[in-house]
Structure 1
């Protein structure tokens, strides 16, 4: 049985684990890029030291002795925590807003107690006690959420319980004939793939947060992974689940398809802990592929790259990854290349290639880098690579090989560390993503970039925005934007709101959704009605109000009520 101290929590003030951080000393193009992009001089910028944990204003827990004793009786004294570190770690997710508030000691409400149940029976007991006590229950997986889905309401006067499922971290069973695996909800991505891989299987779900996020968290936020083009997002992968509600367990059997009225499974997907606590998920799994390869490509323009991705999505090819970066993100990617040539497009290799392309008439300021991935039998991979190469060629692109693809695979989970690096030096960096039909994708892109630039002018700081297409579908694709600017000291979150709001409003104004895979939480709830209409919001509130009339489960997330 996993002990509480064996559970892998991230550092309380930033992303990832202590001792791991982004650095640029071996990336000679990075500092000049940052100076040009956001006017931040890394040669003089001083990194801010995070505050001491002991300096944070942590109030005494709001727990009666009798209630605390009941909780201890359920999970044991060793699994009931009221210490400062545990409570702070479970207060926020890892959004820029969360980290700025933590570093400035803006913590209006924190959990009163953190509980680590060992199994579903203990979760049921916690839920029933909490509802009887009229306490607030906030399920906690890995704490990676960036949409405000974890924080207690600032004015909450009831006791707040954070229920950490980290001890529930096992693959319970694999139905090999059906390709289904039963998994406890607190299982982290790496632990899941290790347990599946030891038996020859993979789930194929690799979100950016993979290293630190859990199966239950993926379901609760409708997560997508980097290989969702083949495996589907978590809504496609999830076949069954178990959800603890007051006095009972909602059990959804892992059926391949069903016509039993409105989908309860769909209600739980993306519910962010508002309907109960997910304890177990049954997912589709696949045999480990014979071959896996990620190949880099270059396109002469963003428009050409998008057109190629659209044709690939409509073709007989079925890659696991179809990703293309715009010119700005391509410049950023090249800036993070290490000085030593090898796996990446750097140094003499890049210069030589660019010289050849310039002679062909390419405008190198518009070049777009793409990664496309393939899995399966060697013959199948070869077939798909041939199909894609022809499509890429029809749109003026070229193949640059497996070197950049190997680098992509090695670094794909490291980007959040860069956000912390910039934040340490007074720069705000964050992401917003959307999905839109192919027919409106360029409209969303162009208007979002323009909206961000107007926002930078409004706050009076130069800023940067870049984008990549991250997931392709039959009818459209996901556009994933990253933006950054050097914030002022007086009101960094006010400035951030101006930029973030401009980007989000552009999404819904031009045919996109408020979020493709980062959930709603509190960060995006103001756009929900524009996204799904007022009757749609009323339906959600009707379900939430029926299942949780006392607002005990993670209140104010999704709809703001």
Structure 2
């Protein structure tokens, strides 16, 4: 069995790690008020692997022998657990189906190649046998990018790149690092850090996602304001295709027609298997600090983030939560009974807020990060303080920022916690120009609330702004509700579809960084225009006429 890390089959993260509310006294009252879910009742958790009806592998002996010969018997796995781990990603739909035993098409074999040459042999063998090949990184995708088509009759191969996990080389003059595509976030940062470098890419899924997965889904990290998203970070690529290897050098610029690099970015395995990425890296900063701020309203917070984006300030993180997400953040803090906003800040500041006439139910928590030399950080903090002060904000200091840094990768565990108790907790994100963000925000909230009313539940939707750019920003929505009937995915679809439709109806994109997969494919033509969707479909069909490479993703 290869030494490759995987998440637990039924949820996020590793076995033994989960979200708990007992040490957060504000959590239970908040949740019962928000979605009428009593956390003091026993969870409805029912996950029994042995109860799953896992179909037998559907792969002929000749192909099985050939693939086993390529990677070795220890790296060609057809055990039920490995196959189930590679069946879906980690979306709400994925987890509900797994827990309900809805697994219509399980991969027939999981292969763990040791190098690019073995990947090439696997690709060629799979295409020759007319099999389906699905690249697999960390398995964290939440857009349905990993599942095989339900009615697929051909052999399905899950190609796990977990053994390709090395930082190969760093060009210290150019700040370019060659890294194998299967490297998980923590592993590649550790290897780069030993040499004094960082990639600076920290998505929510950082602990359990890979470089190749980031490229294949056009990922963004929490510090994209400084480092850029993966489309800006990835400079060169090596992609295995049938009978050949696509090599894109890490050039600073080029005028060679439509960008082939851009075609691979976000392609979700449909244009080949990414084996190596050359990325832009940066020296570890001398200083890094995340400060907390408090705004009197959501509108003032949005206006401040916009002002920062067009100023001389260059923070690494610009994030502000609406009042509903701010309330949730306060409710999930480990505090003594009686915790309130006033216990988080000094009595002097409370007095100031009261004199300013702040409505404490409308306040919005913000995190802004700074990196670089001490002089640079000091100047950036001063520039930002001047801007946010003009928009009525107060500085809370390092405490909230340090807590944000400690907990930033833990949020996905809350989804499992709610699912164990018969409730949905999920996310959808979009991006739009600054001029349309407020209209978009209120339209999405209204659409979600209408959907909650339609299915007859008490629901909750909250939002934060992240990933600011000069022309616009990402709005990241989280929604939750308690399932009311025996068909949870039917209810979930009503809410999810309402939110997604509100995105494209109000100037947003179908997804800023979670990819298309099958979850978001229905909105592709509205997002790109029918002509754009047709162009993309033509690209995939031209490259892969038989549909061997992760069929059904993006364009359906």
TM-score, normalised with respect to structure 1: 0.97
Partner of 1:67: 63
Give the aligned partner of residue 110 of structure 2: 114
Aligned mate of 1:158, from 154, 157, 163: 154
Q: 2:344 aligns with which of 346, 349, 363?
A: 349
Q: Alpha carbons of 1:345 and 1:193: their partners in 2 closer, same or farther (altered >3 Å)?
A: farther
Match of 2:540 in 1: 544
Deviations 1:404-449 (A, max 9, x none): 0000000000000011101100110100000000000001001000
Contact preservation (8 Å) 1:82, 1:112: yes
Q: What is the match of residue 492 of structure 2?
A: 496
Counterpart CA distance in 2 for 1:510 and 1:339 is: 39
In the alignment, what sits opposite 2:136? 140
Counterpart pick for 1:39 among 36, 39, 49:
36
CA contact (8 A) 2:345 2:396 kept: no
Report the Cα distance in structure 1 between the residues aligned to 2:445 and 2:50, rounded to whole angstroms.
42
Is 1:100 equivalent to 2:96 in the alignment? yes
**C-alpha displacement at 1:55, in angstroms?**
1.2
Q: State the Cα distance separating 1:534 from its structure 2 match.
A: 0.9
Please say if residues 275 and 553 of structure 1, whose CA atoms lie closer than 8 Å, have aligned partners that are also in contact. yes
Question: Of 230, 234, 255, which aligns to 2:226?
Answer: 230
User: Deviation of residue 357 (structure 1)?
Assistant: 1.4
CA apart distance, 1:337: 1.0
Query: Which SS does the other structure have where 2:208 is aligned?
Result: coil
C-alpha contact 1:200 1:288 (8 A) present in aligned 2? yes
Report deviation, 1:541: 1.1
Structure-2 change in CA distance of 1:345 and 1:377 (3 Å): farther
Aligned length: 554
Kindly report structure 1 stretches of 4+ aligned residues shifted beyond 6 Å: 344-347
Work out the CA distance in 2 between the residues paired with 1:528 and 1:348. 47
Return the match for 2:45 from 43, 46, 49: 49
SS of equivalent residue, structure 1 residue 472: coil
8 A Cα contact 1:345 1:404, kept in partner? no
Which stretch shifts more, 263-272 or 542-551? Answer: 542-551
Once the 2 structures are TM-superposed, how far is the Cα of residue 48 of structure 1 from its aligned partner? 2.6
> Which residue of 17, 29, 42 maps to 2:14?
17
Q: Distance in 2 between matches of 1:220 and 1:420?
A: 25
Q: How far 1:345 moved relative to its partner?
A: 8.0
1:337 and 1:345 in contact (8 A); partners too:
no
Structure 1 CA distance, aligned partners of 2:484 and 2:325?
25
SS at match of 2:467: strand
Contact 2:131 2:157 in 1 (8 A): yes
- Displacement of 1:47 in angstroms is 1.4
Partner SS for 1:446: helix
Q: TM-score, normalised by structure 2?
A: 0.98
Q: Report the Cα offset of residue 95 of structure 1.
A: 0.4
Give distance in 2, aligned partners of 1:40 and 1:298: 29
1:244 corresponds in structure 2 to: 240
Q: Is the 8 A contact 1:13 1:50 kept in 2?
A: no
Confirm whether residue 279 of structure 1 aligns to residue 275 of structure 2: yes
Q: 1:211-270 CA distances to partner (integer Å, 9 max, x unpaired)?
A: 000000000000000000000000000000000000001000010111100000000000
Do residues 186 (structure 1) and 166 (structure 2) align? no
Once residues 237 and 392 of structure 1 are traced to their aligned partners in structure 2, the CA distance between those partners, rounded to angstroms, is: 29
SS in 1 for 2:361: helix
Alpha-carbon shift at residue 303 of structure 1 (Å): 0.3
What is the CA deviation profile of residues 308-366 of structure 1, one whole-angstrom value per residue up to 9, with x for unaligned ones?
Answer: 0000000101000000000000000000111159xx98673348444541232101111
Say whether the 8 Å CA contact 1:455–1:498 is kept in structure 2: yes
| Partner residue in 2 for 1:465 | 461
Cα distance between partner residues in 2 of 1:225 and 1:556? 27
Distance 1:79 1:50 in 2: 31
Residues 182 and 282, structure 1, Cα contact 8 Å, conserved in 2? yes
Distance 1:190 1:345 in 2: 35
Partner-residue secondary structure (3-state), 1:211: helix
- Provide the C-alpha distance between the structure 2 equivalents of 1:31 and 1:251, rounded to a whole number of angstroms: 53
- 1:489, CA displacement in angstroms? 3.6
The question of 1:262 aligning with 2:258 is answered yes
The 2-side partners of 1:345 and 1:468 are apart by: 21
Corresponding position of 2:27: 30
Residue 25 of structure 1 deviates from its aligned partner by 1.0
Q: Assess, with a 3 A threshold, how the Cα gap between structure 1 residues 523 and 232 changes in structure 2: closer, same or farther.
A: same
Displacement of 1:391 in angstroms is 0.3
Does the alignment pair 1:402 with 2:401?
A: no
- Give, in whole Å, the separation in 2 of the partners of 1:288 and 1:244: 32
Equivalent position to 1:510, from 506, 510, 517: 506
Equivalent residue, structure 2, for 1:389? 385
- The gaps in structure 1 that reach 5 residues or longer are none
**1:292 aligns with one of 288, 306, 313:** 288
Q: Do the aligned partners of 1:80 and 1:116 also contact (CA within 8 Å) in 2?
A: yes
CA contact (8 A) 1:206 1:227 kept: yes
Map residues 399-478 of structure 1 onto 2, 5 A cutoff.
Answer: 399-478=395-474
CA–CA separation in structure 2 for the residues paired with 1:526 and 1:557: 11
CA distance in 2 between counterparts of 1:351 and 1:96 reads 40
Q: Deviations over 1:475-506 (max 9, x none)?
A: 00000000000012411000000000000000
Unpaired segments ≥5 residues, structure 2? none
